[in-house]
Copies of this chain bind each other. A is one copy, B any other.
Amino acid sequence: MNGAETLLRTLMNAGVDTCFANPGTSEMHFVAALDRVRGMRPVLGLFEGVVAGAADGYARMADKPAATLFHLGPGLGNGLSQLHNAMRARTPVVNVVGEHATWHRQYETPLASDVEAYARPVSGWLRTCASPRLLAADTRAAVKAAYGPPGQIASLILPADCSWGEADDPAPPVQRPRRPSVDPAALEAVARVLGSGEPVVMLMNGAAVRADGLHAASRIAATTGATVLADTFTARLERGAGRSPIQRFPRYPDQGAALLREARHLVLVETVPPVGFFAYPDQPSWLTPESCAIHTLAAPGDDAVAALEALCDMLGAREDSASIQPLAVPEPATGELSPESVGQSVAALLPEHAIVADEAVTSRGGLPEATAGCPPHDWLSLTGGALGGGLPMAIGAAVACPDRQVLCLQADGAGMYNVQSLWTMARERLDTTVVVYANRSYRILHNEFQRLGLGEVGESARQLMNIGDPDLDWVSLATGMGVEAHRIETIEAFNTHFAAAMREPGPRLLEVVL
């Protein structure tokens, strides 16, 4: 058995059965081995950002890593921004990067590159395989490392001769690691703080913002008066009817600082202290006041849900004290086509267990609020701020959950970064519905320009912040990649086409012209 086959069989033994790939010559033995290893699903991306973002979305929903396959340093380079988002989401990824044969790396060939240097900014674990004899063990170590906890990107660099050389048998299955329990002393300390009557803000992310964690946190809030918030960006938030709702920490630093002004205690649950997304000349980046003590209940990857439930017991927070979101589904909107009316109509029609991949940036109006009472659904955010995550995350989520409807809320500017994603949606016949908010500008840059006090936007600046002239025609773009698409200019048309998209399988794109 050659190295590539051992690698693939080791992945399969570990339950890693999906590989998002954009291969090149140095990966041909890996590609050939796919034909000999039953059950490994290869998914092609026409660009590496698609591959990386899909691996992120997949693992957020599957709760296990996918493998990637990249071609040398430059191929990996194309995937880095979406791996950055995955890193910030603490997503497990087994990141396989092909490399020249060991003896070939010394030469100045066109594609010679320092693959480790490319991988380092996003990798929590990084190893270059030195021999096909080591590949089974290296692959197993990569899967273990990817799981964490917390999840991380484990980059296994695979020289071509390690792929084609004779290898040992595949490695045995990897036990999915347990999350470490929270230290009883930390529990005691936080229980004291919550029982003190002083103002407490509890900020949560990771597993804490799924149903069980939210439920426990809501009991704590009801019992103690603590303010419970989710981070501005979360990897996967479970919400909707029957779940405990949660507000997000505000995005802008002045709003964040205002929220924390009266707090005497900040309790962190799988997150770090809040700071501004960007710096501004006259505003502090660090938002926690001096007078506010910081307590870590659970570090990222710790068993936060068990800790929150233990706190409930310690504080006597009754099971029925949790706030539960009632089902509240509006009628489809009428009147003007706007982000608000689109939000209402989405809320009217969003099916149970939908997955929302949210990269609407500035465009989605009140959609999160409008959908708060929809049937239960999952919400995936752009955790690392690197544009282009929406479409590929939707791919990954749809591959992980073929029985669920995936809705991608996509700003037009951000959607262009990995626009090739549409082709993979068509190729794999994924049940993804993409709503493009076409406002013809990097609206967020206009907002930031104003927040920074830069005054009037002149002609050169306008050139860099508007993406009209020419307008993108998303219907043509989608059609060109095999995805059925419709231009939406009235709310009635949106209602009709969105309902059809929810009802019928396969990918669809609706370009909402704003």
Contact = CB atoms under 8 A, between A and B. Distances in A.
A477 B422 CA distance: 12
Given A417-B78, A445-B28, A474 B464 contact: no
Contacts of A247: none
Contact of A454 (B24, B32, B382): B32
Contact of A44 (B26, B81, B463, B481): B463
A479 B481 contact: no
Contact of A109 (B111, B276, B467, B474): B276
Interface stretch (A96-104, A174-182, A315-323): A96-104
Interface string A46-81: 110100000000000000000000000111011011
Contacts of A388: 47, 78
Interface in A403-426: 413, 416-417, 419-420, 423, 426
A136 B117 CA distance: 30
A460 B40 contact: yes
A471 B469 CA distance: 28
A206 B384 CA distance: 40
A459 interface: yes
Contacts of A463: 42, 44
A28 B84 contact: no
A365 interface: no
Contacts of A413: 46
Copies of chain A in the complex: 2
A222 interface: no
Contacts of A75: 81, 386
B384 A110 contact: yes
Contacts of A117: 117, 120-121
Contacts of A161: 279, 281
Nearest to A79: B77
A459 B37 CA distance: 11
A280 B44 CA distance: 24
A275 B46 CA distance: 29
A93 interface: no
Interface string A379-391: 0001111101000
A161 B110 CA distance: 38
Given A28-B449, A278-B25, A279-B161, A44 B80 contact: no
A278 B469 CA distance: 42
B476 A480 contact: yes
A490 interface: no
Most chain B beta-carbon neighbours within 10 Å: one of A278, A413, A464, A473: A464
A111 B277 CA distance: 8
A308 B113 CA distance: 31
Given A118-B121, A120-B117, A426 B481 contact: no
* Pairs A-B, 4 closest by C-beta atoms: A470-B482, A35-B458, A476-B480, A77-B80
Interface of A: 21, 23-26, 28-29, 31-32, 34-36, 40, 42, 44, 46-47, 49, 73-75, 77-78, 80-81, 84-85, 88, 100-101, 103-104, 107-111, 113-114, 117-118, 120-121, 160-161, 164, 233, 272, 275-279, 281, 285-286, 382-386, 388, 413, 416-417, 419-420, 423, 426-427, 444-445, 448-449, 452, 454-455, 457-461, 463-465, 467, 469-477, 479-482
